[in-house]
Amino acid sequence: MKSILRFSGVYLAETATTVGKKESEGPLSDFFDSHEEDVYFGTDSFEKAESEMVRRTLNILLGKANKKPEDISLILGGDLLNQCVATSFAVSKSQIPFLGLYGACSTIIESAIVASSFINGGLVDNAAILASSHFCTAERQYRFPLEYGSQKTPTSQNTVTGCGSYLLQNEQTSFRVREAVVGKIVDNGIKDANNMGAAMATAAVDTILRYFNESGAKPDDFDMIATGDLGIEGHEISLELLKRCGLNLGQNYTDCGMLIYDIQKQDMQAGASGCACMATVFGGYLFKRMKRNELRNVLLIGTGALLNRNSTLQNESIPSIAHLIHIVREEI
Amino acid sequence: MKSILRFSGVYLAETATTVGKKESEGPLSDFFDSHEEDVYFGTDSFEKAESEMVRRTLNILLGKANKKPEDISLILGGDLLNQCVATSFAVSKSQIPFLGLYGACSTIIESAIVASSFINGGLVDNAAILASSHFCTAERQYRFPLEYGSQKTPTSQNTVTGCGSYLLQNEQTSFRVREAVVGKIVDNGIKDANNMGAAMATAAVDTILRYFNESGAKPDDFDMIATGDLGIEGHEISLELLKRCGLNLGQNYTDCGMLIYDIQKQDMQAGASGCACMATVFGGYLFKRMKRNELRNVLLIGTGALLNRNSTLQNESIPSIAHLIHIVREEI
């Protein structure tokens, strides 16, 4: 069974990103389209704030791409809230056909793969994808009320407040979505919900190995190989496991969860996580570097931990998944 | 912007269904592949029970289709549990590439559309889709602990305990997946989480109207037009609204939520709901009637209410969605 899906005629046209205060104080600050100091985004609950953030980001995307809502064939995406409501309330007014996806923090890459499938087959001309997360909604849903002021463990990661939304289309641009690998769920038995990087690392390794084994590509062929949100701990584990399997990734191997914050100065333990981590770091930072021709050949591996709060309380392990896409810059 | 997606070379090969005790006591009892009297399905929690049910159903599908897990290119699906964990724990051991989808109770049709996109474009040879729900996990997640013995309102619907899983493929069978309409989110302002049929009815109407307006088909062209889980209340509302818009649906228009239980005898208020409602009623009952040549031309409209518990508590309305597929029996 082949692992790599090869797309024809699928291009990335534009991206839009919105982030919160902490993200706007990090090293990638200048790369985001918009940031908001108010954790409530002008609403009266964290959950409504996340929806408002998604709605704004989609509007920024439409503006940058010079499109009206009726020009968009399909929206695909999701978030971490129970039943993905941040996305559904945000998209509700748009009148654009919608497919809800759930891949935890891999959602932006899962959405890119599904959108590419519709465009590749000629079913639609374009599709907007999006993924969001919000520190405050994630903390109270997965962990504790913020008011507790609970202590963080060294392996814990900080959920990014942000949203990334991209436009994919059949009309040629310089950025081709060439290939994808759909992840398999991998469960290595890790049960510590404060160490999701370790749980997701083996899923990333599985997907990366399947890609390199089948494609025959070498790590040096890429300007950047970036995972979504393994964090420092998960990144180290994945490097070590890949090395044992004979794949030595070098300086071009990084993780979006290690890029968005100044981990020391901002006291971010093992780094960043959340659907918005890869969605904003690629959409804001890496895509702009592709536009500047600093990066031409990029592998993105979105990583997701498929747990919920009850599964942790019921002493279940953390099934994880990693989806991959390969984007190349081509001169047209 | 066209609404109808037309697929080429996508066929439904086989279905499998598992249901709980109440569903096995209803009028469609003989049509399901398997039923389980124990609400725990032999596990120690309702949530694990739902995963076990999904795992069993997938195994039944593989058995009926005479496939091994490694013969399946892709699994797509989801459920109602927070972060769709029933599905991810069930699929975890299968080693099959997985895409998680969330469309609430429309998930089985959303999955069919996305699977058809991958097969239509030649990206994969086949895909298994699935959707599940469990009365006990849904009650305690969305409403109250079962031990409260809370009273039901007349418009409330009973969540189906069950799972439906189907195999779609590029190899020809008598059952062609011909067309689809991806739903738009419709929010008519209804806030009563005990009347989801009314919230979803307008989404169903929107999708049905878009299909008939664009296709030029007439209601009489179809042997059956079935919505997912509008229930008695939502079904009546949708009939009335469609009539006002000039589309008179007749005896061939029904709702899976009105079929699975003997509503009077089993005291089921407005009928059934849940991801498993359409997934088991089509997979068990309607598909067998297509096999017997009693139904040849079927429109399925999966309906989903995109709320969560917090959105209701925060006094938000219920955004809803309806996805449509058109399946035809063709002699080969």
Q: A114 in contact with B at a CB cutoff of 8 Å?
A: yes
Nearest by CB: A307 against B78, B83, B319: B83
Reply yes or no on whether the pLDDT at A149 is more than 90: no
Q: How far apart are CA B282 and CA B228, in angstroms?
A: 9
Q: How far apart are CA B193 and CA A251, in angstroms?
A: 52
Are A88 and B319 in contact (CB < 8 Å)? yes
Chain region(s) in chain B for CATH 3.40.47.40? 4-169, 175-329
pLDDT of B306 reads 96
Which pLDDT tens digit goes with each residue over A165-211? 999 999 999 999 999 999 999 999 999 989 999 999 999 999 999 99
DSSP letters for A31-67: G-SEE-S-TTTTSSSHHHHHHHHHHHHHHHHHHHHT-
Reply yes or no on whether the pLDDT at B1 is more than 90: no
Which pLDDT tens digit goes with each residue over A319-331? 999 999 999 999 8
Any residues with CB less than 8 A from the CB of A292 and at least 6 apart, and which? none
Whole-number Cα distances in Å, A263 to A26, A154, A266, A276, B152: 9, 12, 5, 17, 51
Q: B84 in contact with A at a CB cutoff of 8 Å?
A: yes
Are B5 and A123 in contact (CB < 8 Å)? yes
Q: How far apart are CA B328 and CA B332, in angstroms?
A: 12
Q: Which of B180, B321, B96, B92 lies closest to A100, judged by CA? A: B321
Reply yes or no on whether the pLDDT at B261 is more than 80: yes
Q: How far apart are CA A203 and CA B315, in angstroms?
A: 39
pLDDT of A1 reads 77
Nearest C-alpha in A relative to B95: A184
Q: Where are the alpha helices (DSSP H) in A186-230?
A: 196-215
Contact list, A138 vs chain B (CB under 8 Å): none
Q: What is the mean pLDDT of chain A?
A: 97
Are A82 and B78 in contact (CB < 8 Å)? no
Reply yes or no on whether the pLDDT at A38 is more than 90: yes
Reply yes or no on whether the pLDDT at A87 is more than 90: yes
Q: Which fold has domain A4-169?
A: Peroxisomal Thiolase; Chain A, domain 1 (3.40.47)
Q: How far apart are CA A73 and CA A119, in angstroms?
A: 10
Q: How far apart are CA A191 and CA A212, in angstroms?
A: 29
CATH code of domain B175-329: 3.40.47.40
pLDDT of B270 reads 95
pLDDT of A138 reads 95
Are A80 and B83 in contact (CB < 8 Å)? yes
